[in-house]
């Protein structure tokens, strides 16, 4: 997914369903003003990729909604990064995040809690 496609998907995930004029407003508000024809083109691409569906809306337009969840998309992106950038090693990804201080102390504490919870869940 390109950056623009991802921004459109974020809006769809947040709204559930939306129209092109609403996307124009939301993207402009997010600092990425795009014309309706550009957004329609992006939506057509997302439809071909089977990330988005559309239905006839009131008037002449369409309402669009996401076919894939934000969670599924995040999982796919992480798997792709792990495979392509870190040679399939999740440990190499985590090591880089820790080594380069990408994770704040507050987030690190949350990660520790998540690990403990995960370990407790696996022991059951």
Its pTM stands at: 0.81
SS3 assignment, position 19: strand
pLDDT value for 26: 96
DSSP string of 108-120?
A: HHHHHHHHHHHHH
pLDDT value for 124: 55
Start-to-end C-alpha separation, the chain: 38
pLDDT value for 101: 83
pLDDT value for 20: 95
pLDDT value for 123: 65
pLDDT value for 29: 95
Strands in 7-73 per DSSP E: 18-19, 52-56, 62-66
Q: Roughly what angle, to the nearest 10 degrees, separates helices 20-29 and 36-48?
A: 110
Neighbouring C-beta atoms of residue 28, cutoff 10 Å? 11
pLDDT value for 48: 97
- The third-level CATH classification (topology) of the domain covering 70-123 is Penicillinase repressor fold (1.10.4040)
In CATH, which of 3.40.50.720, 1.20.810.10, 1.10.10.10, 1.10.260.40 is domain 3-66?
A: 1.10.10.10
For the chain, the domains span 3-66, 70-123
**pLDDT in single tens digits along all 124 residues of the chain:** 899 999 999 999 999 999 999 999 999 999 999 999 999 999 999 999 999 999 998 888 899 999 999 999 999 999 999 999 999 999 999 999 888 888 888 999 999 999 999 898 876 5
């Amino acid at each position: 997914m390109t950056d623009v496609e991802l921004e459109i998907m974020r809006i769809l995930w947040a709204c559930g369903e939306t129209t092109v004029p609403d996307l124009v407003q939301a993207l402009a508000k997010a600092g990425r003003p795009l014309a309706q024809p550009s957004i329609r083109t992006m939506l057509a691409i997302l439809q071909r990729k089977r990330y988005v569906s559309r239905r006839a809306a009131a008037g002449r337009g369409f309402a669009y909604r996401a076919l894939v969840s934000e969670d599924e998309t995040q999982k796919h992106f992480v798997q792709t990064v792990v495979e392509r950038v870190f040679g399939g090693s999740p440990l190499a990804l985590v090591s880089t995040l820790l080594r380069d201080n990408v994770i704040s102390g507050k987030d690190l504490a949350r990660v520790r809690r998540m690990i403990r919870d995960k370990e407790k869940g696996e022991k059951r």
